[in-house]
Amino acid sequence: MDETQVKITDVTNLTTDDPKFAEACSSLANSIQSEKYAITQLVQDLGPLLTNTTIADREKGTLILSLVLTHLPNNILNSTQLNFICNFYSERLNDHHQVVPAVLRGLIPIVRSENISQGLSTQLLTALFQYVPCQQQQQPDRYNIYQFIKTLLDKRKDEMKAMGLDLVYGVISAIDSERDPRNLLFLFNWLPNFVKIIELDFRPSAQDEHTITRENLADALCPCLCALPSFADLCIPLAIEKLESELYIAKLDSLNLLINGCINFPVETYKQHSSVLWSVIQKEVFTCKDRDLERRCLETLTCLFRKLSTDCSYSKQLTKDVIDTLKGNLRPDAILYIPSAKIIKSISQASSETADLIFKEISPLLINMYNITTTPSHKSIILQQLVDLTITYLTLNPGISIDDTENAKVVPSICLKAIIDAETQIRMTGITSFSHLALFISTATRRYFYDNLSALIVLKQESIVREAIISALKIYAASYYEEIQSILQNIQTNNGLESLELYLNAVGSVVGVPQLMSFSLSILVKNVFGTLDTAVVAAKILNHKLEENESIISKHLIENESIVGRIVDYFLQNINHFNIDIHCVFLESIAKILMITLRYAEETTQEALVIQQLEKIKFIKSNDLHIIILYGLLSSLRPNTNVSININEIVNLTVETSASDISNFGSELLGNIINKTVDENTLNERLNNIEMKTDIGLQHNKIKNAIKVISFTAKALAIRANSHTFKWVNKLINLSSEYLTAAKAFQIMFDDANDCLYTKNYCKKTLLYKQKFFTEVCDYLVSNYDDSKKHYLLILGHLIQNVPQNILRIELKKIIRLVLLCLSYCEESDVLFAVLTAVNVIIEDKEQLAEDFIQEFLKYYLKLATSEKSMKIRISALRGIQTYSTYPLYKLLPLKQDVLMTLSKCLDDKKRLVRKEAVEARSKWFLIDAPI
């Protein structure tokens, strides 16, 4: 040992530029290798230098250690020794810049060691990126840095890839602005390998809504890569390589490159790689579980075969090879049938030649298979593929008729037989398939189809078959509207209202075909004004069609059918025969027909029509059913029209009626009128009338009706931000102390389902009215709440039930005390469940308020988890408790035992779903702070 100590002294006494210095360090390494000297002893002996305050001494000590490590074999140091050395070198990288070059020389031998532990390489590289600005070092030191990074990527590739973008950023920062030719040559040779093993990604800024996305960059780069034919030899192999990777986005980018390359790349390049491309894409389609990726693969196949079809002989041979490969999969019970069928369809769409070859090779096989198969689902699949191939074949060969080819000629016949099959699925597939063939079917064959269609239209069918019939009718009407009009005219509906409804639905389905609109509407309108039974059916269908295409149909009904006057006349003629309980749907339908039709009338036309119809009603004895027709006439009236509205009559009928539906119509109509009243004096007068009549209604046991009117009046004022709003809201708040209906009325304020208060009915709606209303009502509830006003909690519950979540978050801090009281005292299960649901979202998003009040929320949640109120309340409470288990540990530990004790009771709940949630919640809380 004394001899070795002398060697240490000899080394430390030498200067670093002495030729004997490196030899002495090598001799030390030999001693360690021969086990005459230990690395730990070397570090201990170098201690005075390594920890010296003099920079030159620290540099010398570090250089000695680095040179010794350089001469040691890769397997001589154990993991403990390497862990110590790595920690030392990580710290030394933050030393004075004069010491750093000596540190850099020791990094490469460290990471080459076989026993280095996982994570130490990342530690060294992270320290290097953090403390050592590469481009400020001398050329040899920069070269050592590059060598160190290269060694890491060669030896510890997986560990380096785990660094992700930190690695990419660090490397780019290190090499940026490098100018030395020697270093540049090294980097040019190494960087291509670096790019291959890292996964580059572009992450746009989350704050900038107009930022450039990764997709924008990829879409812009792809045409550049495909700009010149000479790029093909590099791009296509690159695309194949990326397509074979596991990265989803790389697959999509490579497929886009192959598709775009078909524009400029020479066909010879594609021919060279066609076998590999076919093999890789086929494998992807067979194994792919993502529909977008599968669709892109199939599009790529179509483009590739279209490109290859410029060489007819090569394309023909390749297509035959594909057919031979996939033929064996074309059995409906085969696992690969569906993907194989999709591939064949995609390739057939490439060109007329491939379509012709595939149809002639595959269609006989499919026809034979269809005839011998007995399973309905299998027959449907085969028929769909057969029709798809037929359509592709005929589309790409426009000079060929469906009757010119033997195999194509039998396809319509197969579809017609399928239409009358006993199996539902086959019937549906037959109708759908025949619809797809519409442009290719001859007139004679269409007649057979129309005969079947006429019978099917008025025959009750399963829903999927009915949808197929209506779809077929629309498709054939678009191309052969005269033929469809003829068959619809000749259909007989003698089997009662059921067949009439089916027929009118079919007639209504073609109203969107311009040439058949007049015909279709005339039949519907005729039946609306037939017997009361037929009118009920027809009005519902007409209303539905009108809602689908409001403006065009409304104009036609006003100009060609005089619909407004005819509806009012029909209503007045039959008013004594209507029963609101029986005919509610019909009356609602005609009211909405009037509302929508008048909505799109010109202003002068609208005013004249409404005045004319109101004159008719005026001379008839007042009836609460008048509310419905007034609803239709007045709801879409423009604000500035000179129409006289008898508000007293509407309020009286609405409040006094015994029919809930009439009250609903009247309340909405009053809200509509109040919202659109422009003149302030008129508004005050109308509000006074409503207030007086509702006060009388409250005194004479018409409470529900009166509260509805007050609710819609309040909403009408609120959405226009009128100063009278809170007076009417306050009436509801006061009424809610006695009547639950008044508290429930606050749901109406946020309900957008009221047709009458739509802006397209010319109602005035201010921006952010919901937020303003919620804020003002909550301020009032918070400031005026006391223990005698428990009904405030119910009001708040109804508000929370319907308020948008973003508004609730803004106001939650203000109302948190009432929310907690609501969880404790609310007796209405639906309201309580809505409050729990809203609070659970806030807990899931880990809002600060949810953490601040964790103890309070858990107290009430645990109480609700064991309550008898409702199963869904217990489940919702348990889910909130589960979510809380992810909160900071120091918040949860004091509560853990109480939570576990209460949850143990839930394990015996009588409902299985509650027990399931309880087990989940208890498991999560039990594992809090558990040793891993």
For residues 474-500, give the mean pLDDT.
90
* pLDDT of 201 higher than 70: no
Q: What share of the chain is helix, strand, coil (3-state, %, to 5)?
A: 75, 0, 25
Letter string b/e over residues 273-311, b meaning 16 or more CB atoms within 10 A of that residue's CB: bbeebbebbbebbeebeeeebbebbbbbbbbbbbbbbee
* pLDDT of 232 higher than 50: yes
Position 163 scores a pLDDT of: 85
* pLDDT of 368 higher than 70: yes
Round to whole Å and give the CA distance between 817 and 803.
Answer: 18
In order of 489, 529, 804, the CA distances from 174 in angstroms are 81, 84, 50
Least confident of 17-31, 292-306, 318-332, 470-484: 17-31
636: nearest Cα among 667, 592, 686: 592
* Burial label, 88 (beta-carbon count in 10 A; 0-12, 13-18, 19+): middle
What is the set of domains in the chain, with CATH numbers?
Answer: 2-197 (1.25.10), 694-888 (1.25.10)
* pLDDT of 878 higher than 50: yes
Give residue 114's pLDDT band: very low, low, confident or very high (50, 70, 90). Answer: confident
Give residue 6's pLDDT band: very low, low, confident or very high (50, 70, 90). Answer: very low
3-state secondary structure of 329: helix
Position 361 scores a pLDDT of: 92
Which residues contact residue 754 at a Cβ distance below 8 angstroms, ignoring those fewer than 6 apart? 668, 671, 712, 715, 748
- When computed from its CA atoms, the radius of gyration of the chain, rounded to whole angstroms, is 41
Round to whole Å and give the CA distance between 899 and 858.
Answer: 8
* pLDDT of 313 higher than 50: yes
Span 79-109, pLDDT tens digits: 888 888 898 889 889 888 899 999 998 898 9
Type and span of the H or E element at 716: helix 703-719
Please tell me what DSSP assigns to residue 580. H
Which residues contact residue 124 at a Cβ distance below 8 angstroms, ignoring those fewer than 6 apart? 86, 89, 90, 93, 107, 110, 111
Give residue 412's pLDDT band: very low, low, confident or very high (50, 70, 90). Answer: very high
pLDDT, averaged across the chain: 89
Least confident of 5-19, 227-241, 336-350, 439-453: 5-19
Span 629-645, pLDDT tens digits: 999 999 999 988 888 89
Least confident of 620-629, 655-664, 699-708, 769-778: 620-629
Position 52 scores a pLDDT of: 87
Give residue 111's pLDDT band: very low, low, confident or very high (50, 70, 90). Answer: confident
Round to whole Å and give the CA distance between 74 and 113.
Answer: 4
Span 577-597, pLDDT tens digits: 888 888 899 999 999 999 999
For residues 360-389, give the mean pLDDT.
93
Task: Please state the three-class secondary structure of 146-165 as a single string.
Answer: HHHHHHHHHHCHHHHHCCCH
In order of 28, 128, 221, 410, the CA distances from 169 in angstroms are 39, 13, 22, 65
The structure tokens 């006494």 sit at 13
Round to whole Å and give the CA distance between 50 and 60.
Answer: 8
Highest mean pLDDT out of 147-161, 289-303, 490-504, 834-848: 289-303
Task: Please state the three-class secondary structure of 66-96 as a single string.
Answer: HHHHHCCCCCCCCHHHHHHHHHHHHHHCCCC
For residues 798-804, give the mean pLDDT.
83
Give residue 2's pLDDT band: very low, low, confident or very high (50, 70, 90). Answer: very low
DSSP of 721-776: T-TTHHHHHHHHHHHTTT-HHHHHGGGGGG----GGG-GGGT----TTHHHHHHHH
Span 352-362, pLDDT tens digits: 999 999 999 99
* pLDDT of 112 higher than 70: yes
For a pLDDT cut of 70, what percent of the chain falls above it?
Answer: 97
DSSP of 264-303: HS-HHHHHHHHHHHHHHHHHHHHH---HHHHHHHHHHHHH
Position 206 scores a pLDDT of: 60
* pLDDT of 214 higher than 80: no
Sequence length of the chain is 932
Span 668-710, pLDDT tens digits: 999 999 999 989 999 999 999 999 999 999 888 899 999 999 9
Span 128-173, pLDDT tens digits: 999 999 998 999 999 999 999 999 888 888 888 888 888 888 898 8
* Residue 590 vs residue 801, higher pLDDT: 590
Span 282-299, pLDDT tens digits: 999 999 888 999 999 999
- What is the pTM assigned to this prediction? 0.70
445: nearest Cα among 437, 375, 365: 437
Q: Where are the beta strands (DSSP E) in 136-202?
A: none
Least confident of 271-280, 402-411, 615-624, 863-872: 615-624
Structure tokens at 820: 């907690």
Span 18-55, pLDDT tens digits: 888 888 888 888 888 888 888 888 888 888 888 888 88
Which residues contact residue 763 at a Cβ distance below 8 angstroms, ignoring those fewer than 6 apart? 672, 675, 676, 716, 719, 720, 756, 757
* CB 898, CB 905: distance < 8 Å: no
* CB 102, CB 62: distance < 8 Å: yes
Type and span of the H or E element at 391: helix 376-396
For a pLDDT cut of 90, what percent of the chain falls above it?
Answer: 46
* CB 117, CB 155: distance < 8 Å: no
Angle made by CA atoms 274, 275, 279, in degrees to the nearest 5:
115
* Residue 49 vs residue 618, higher pLDDT: 49
Task: Please state the three-class secondary structure of 594-642 as a single string.
Answer: HHHHHHCCCHHHHHHHHHHHHHHHHCCCCCCCHHHHHHHHHCCCCCCCC
Give residue 813's pLDDT band: very low, low, confident or very high (50, 70, 90). Answer: confident
* CB 587, CB 625: distance < 8 Å: yes
Task: Determine the straight-line distance between the first and last CA of the chain, rounded to whole angstroms.
Answer: 46
Structure tokens at 14: 């030498």
